[in-house]
Amino acid sequence: DEKESLAKALDRLQMVGAGSTPGARGLREAVRSLEEQLLKERAKSQRSASKRSQEQCLLLEQ
């Protein structure tokens, strides 16, 4: 998943480098996109950790 996310980010940065959006504006858009992606990945990771924690508690109760 992380590898796929990085590949998508690289594609976006390459598009910016190809001149799809000029200068600093393009970089800001790329950074914003990467920040959004990072937030999504963090949320996904937290959900996974929470689920593992709940499963561990259930196992301890049994």
* Dist CA 13 CA 51 (whole Å): 34
Per residue in 13-44, pLDDT tens? 777 665 555 677 778 888 888 899 899 999 99
Give the pLDDT of residue 21: 56
Domains in the chain: boundaries: 2-61
Name every residue whose Cβ is closer than 8 Å to that of residue 1 and which is 6 or more positions away in sequence: 41, 44
Name every residue whose Cβ is closer than 8 Å to that of residue 4 and which is 6 or more positions away in sequence: none
Once rounded to an integer, what is the mean pLDDT over residues 35-59? 93
Give the pLDDT of residue 19: 57
Give the pLDDT of residue 18: 58
